[in-house]
Amino acid sequence: MLCYEIVLSCDWHLDNEKEDKAESERQEKLTRLSNKLFRLDTEDVCHAFVAEHVDTMRLACVTDFDGLSNDREYTERICGIIAKELKCTDIRVIEKKEITLEGFKSLLDTAEDSSFISRRLYKLYQKINPEVFGNRSYDTSEAVVECGRFTKADAMREAKTIMADECLIDEISRIYDMSNRKKFYGFPVHYCVTTEGLDAAMPMVKLLVRALHARNRIPGSRITFVTDVKSDFYDEDDFEKLCKRSAGSSVLIELKGEDGNHGIYAKGFERTINLIMDVVADYKQKTQFFFVINVNFEDFSKSLLSRIREDVQIVHIHEGTGDKKLARKYFSRLIDESSMKELADKGVFSFLPEKKTYRPHDVHNAFQKWSSECLLEKAYPAYSNMKVVTVSEKKEKAGGYYQELQEMVGLTRVKELCDEIISSFKMQKVRERYGLSEQDICRHMIFTGNPGSAKTTVARLLCDTLSEEGVLETGKLVECGRADLVGKYVGWTAQQVKRRFKDAAGGMLFIDEAYSLVDGSHSFGEEAINTIVQEMENRRNNVIVVFAGYPDRMEQFIESNAGFKSRIAFHLDFPDYNEDELLEILKNMLNKRQLVMDEDAVPVCRELFHKACGVPDFGNGRYVRNVLDQAVLRQGKRLIGSGGIREMKKITKDQTKLLTADDFMVDTEAFLRENNRNDIKIGFSV
């Protein structure tokens, strides 16, 4: 369903010259015109009405995306009906643009206020209700991407300015490939964009929409955003309505919520995954889907994507990298496109951290800090004394990935090994500078540990640290599992594995649940392992491979191919946290959420963690987060209960921040039993 606003120049005259009768006649004629425009074609796929008429005539048009091929014909038909009904000949189209459903609803209300549409038609058009986009189980918004003539050269230039990765460049080439038909038949592929935030993902998504639209691969340029998905999303019919009404355009789903495989939300998010899978499968030919993964909040995205790929062809797009010159150019572009362009001065680039290699999210973070500073210092200087973030503070944080790694709770031996890894890699760089190359040094690693023991977090921080130290060229971390590496048909697996190595060039390839490739059936998993070993050798100087998984099963994986032992230099074992470390993790989480717990809650939590440590695979840090989530729910019930607005107004700020011992009174055995349900798999599906 696509909506348009059409502005026409239309000179017509009324029969009555008296003002009151003229206005009545005007309303009557325009209402009759709207009735005529209601069905523009016999197939009932395109409708229009008059929304406003002052100096020009403003119309709203809604069409099935299938009817867009007759776009010019419909516009001509609209002009013909207007000419016949109003007896005018000089009709010119001044503007025609795609609008959001919210914009369409606004024009509908304008038409109703002006009495340019009958009550019957108003009720019919109201069925196109944008309110399904507002829901307690998720947040939504809409945007229309400005499209037009957009050549391959334009797309490539645009990609360069946003520091695009090679995988995005490759997809642009596929979109503009001359072997493709320049006509819309359906959506052959959908996209998964992995970044460190939606801000960094949006330029890539908009670029893809513009390119697809230019090649007639997507009828509309509207994007509907689905964000902040909650654990009760699964029982919402509105999501299917949203996807249905987005036919011909795009739906962006940010896969960011509580971890769907652990804790009290496990059942809800498992059903959420099933709902998204079913709806995407139903509308994959009618609606273009973008899945956006935030690498800092992956949560249920792994489980969803590993299963949805069986029915949907997914193209993976990762953040790219660039040098300081390119980062400055991108930063300048963000400023030029903002409303605060006039406030920029020569010192703007001081907000960019000092790094050898930049990623788009680095530039967006710097831009956000510059914007905040400008609002306080230049736009509204009366508030400058309230400034919290300063340029000097920001500079002190440069190179902070290593410090962040060292500040993690526990993991003493892991940190020591990380220091050894960093030192050995830096020493290799020094030797290379003197011509003492050590070509046989291996850089690949194995991370073993139970779920929630921070394997992925350490990999990410280690990758960023090595990038800051100049060991890794790009610092990209590409995460994947069996579903990303093993193809459905003969010949696909090797290509997919090589593509993942190409995506990770200059950075790190993190293969989670690596042992799932060993399935004992001599299937494509064996082909994947052989190709991985080959690529580890071919790209040993520009890709570090990290295999991760359970300790016992990883031994079986390493034994599956003789090439692994000679190519893996470091083995990091991540032990389960003890009760003191879990308590420290809880305190860190409380601090980040601006919460505190009273003194009586400390022994209660310590006892909870003591019991948890005695249960295999209890979840480690994820278990702590789930305990905190349940405590917050109990706090809400304790403070509000079934009370109304009057009770809510009585709650003080300190009360909203305080968690008591009662809030942490969790049925430990039941809680852990729910955490370890056998029918919910952890991480990637095998």
Do 647 and 640 meet the contact criterion of CB atoms below 8 Å apart?
A: yes
Question: How far is Cα 191 from Cα 504, in angstroms, rounded to an integer?
Answer: 18
What phi-psi label fits residue 508: left (phi over 0), alpha (psi between -120 and 50 degrees) or beta? beta
Q: What is the pLDDT of residue 646?
A: 63
Q: At residue 165, does pLDDT exceed 50?
A: yes
Cα dihedral: 78, 80, 83, 86 (round 10): -50
List all residues 6 or more positions away from 483 whose beta carbon is below 8 Å from its beta carbon. 305, 306, 307, 309, 684, 685
CB atoms within 10 A of CB 161: 15
Q: What is the pLDDT of residue 237?
A: 74
Do 184 and 219 meet the contact criterion of CB atoms below 8 Å apart?
A: yes
Q: What is the pLDDT of residue 157?
A: 92
Q: What is the pLDDT of residue 437?
A: 61
pLDDT band at residue 396 under the 50/70/90 scheme: very low
Cα angle 678, 686, 526; round to 5: 150
Q: Which of 101-115, 233-247, 382-396, 553-567 has the lowest mean pLDDT?
A: 382-396
Q: What is the pLDDT of residue 85?
A: 84
The residue-averaged pLDDT of 109-130 equals: 82
pLDDT band at residue 51 under the 50/70/90 scheme: confident
Do 176 and 211 meet the contact criterion of CB atoms below 8 Å apart?
A: yes
Q: Which of 392, 344, 335, 388 is nearest to 364 (CA)?
A: 335
The structure tokens listed for 667 are 């049925």
Helix 266-283, helix 301-308: angle, nearest 10: 40
Percent of the residues in the chain that have a pLDDT greater than 70, as a whole number: 81
Helix 324-336, helix 152-161: angle, nearest 10: 100
According to the 3-state scheme, what is the secondary structure of 369-387?
HHHHHHHHHHHCHHHHHHC
* Residues in the chain, total: 686
Q: Which of 479, 502, 501 is nearest to 194 (CA)?
A: 479
List all residues 6 or more positions away from 148 whose beta carbon is below 8 Å from its beta carbon. 214
Question: How far is Cα 493 from Cα 505, in angstroms, rounded to an integer?
Answer: 19
Q: Which residue has the higher pLDDT, 167 or 413?
A: 167
Q: Which amino acid is at 229?
A: V
Question: How far is Cα 569 from Cα 258, in angstroms, rounded to an integer?
Answer: 35
Handedness of CA 668, 669, 670, 671 (dihedral sign): positive
Helix 198-214, helix 166-175: angle, nearest 10: 20
Q: Which of 269, 294, 296, 306 is nearest to 629 (CA)?
A: 269
Q: For residue 5, give the DSSP letter.
A: E
DSSP of 119-132:
HHHHHHHTTS-GGG
Do 281 and 312 meet the contact criterion of CB atoms below 8 Å apart?
A: yes
349-372 pLDDT, tens digit each: 888 888 778 888 889 989 988 988
CB atoms within 10 A of CB 16: 12
Query: Please, which residues bridge with residue 95 across strands?
Result: 7
598-608 pLDDT, tens digit each: 988 899 898 88
Q: For residue 479, give the DSSP letter.
A: E
Question: How far is Cα 282 from Cα 278, in angstroms, rounded to an integer?
Answer: 6
DSSP of 435-466:
T---TT---EEEEEE-TTSSHHHHHHHHHHHH
pLDDT band at residue 153 under the 50/70/90 scheme: very high
**Which residue bears the tokens 């002009």?**
79
CB atoms within 10 A of CB 647: 12
439-453 pLDDT, tens digit each: 556 788 899 988 888
Q: At residue 395, does pLDDT exceed 60?
A: no
pLDDT band at residue 491 under the 50/70/90 scheme: confident
DSSP of 508-553:
EEEETTGGGG--SS-SHHHHHHHHHHHHHHHTTTTEEEEEEE-HHH
Q: What is the pLDDT of residue 288?
A: 94
Q: Which residue has the higher pLDDT, 539 or 387?
A: 539
List all residues 6 or more positions away from 523 whose beta carbon is below 8 Å from its beta carbon. 486
List all residues 6 or more positions away from 419 whose beta carbon is below 8 Å from its beta carbon. none
Question: How far is Cα 166 from Cα 156, in angstroms, rounded to an integer?
Answer: 11
614-627 pLDDT, tens digit each: 787 777 888 888 88
The structure tokens listed for 314 are 């997914």
> First-to-last CA distance in the chain?
38
pLDDT band at residue 211 under the 50/70/90 scheme: very high
Q: What is the pLDDT of residue 681?
A: 33
Q: What is the pLDDT of residue 414?
A: 78
Query: Do β-strands 444-449 and 568-574 pair in parallel, antiparallel, or remain unpaired?
Result: parallel
Helix 492-503, helix 166-175: angle, nearest 10: 130
What phi-psi label fits residue 313: left (phi over 0), alpha (psi between -120 and 50 degrees) or beta? beta
Output phi, psi for 46, to 5 deg: -140, 130
Helix 238-245, helix 266-283: angle, nearest 10: 30
- Average pLDDT value over all residues in the chain: 80
Q: Which of 46-50, 488-492, 578-582, 628-632 has the lowest mean pLDDT?
A: 488-492
Q: Which residue has the higher pLDDT, 435 or 334?
A: 334
Q: At residue 238, does pLDDT exceed 90?
A: no
pLDDT band at residue 172 under the 50/70/90 scheme: very high
The structure tokens listed for 267 are 């059942």
Q: What is the pLDDT of residue 522?
A: 54
Q: At residue 675, does pLDDT exceed 80?
A: no
The structure tokens listed for 338 are 């903002």
Do 142 and 1 meet the contact criterion of CB atoms below 8 Å apart?
A: no
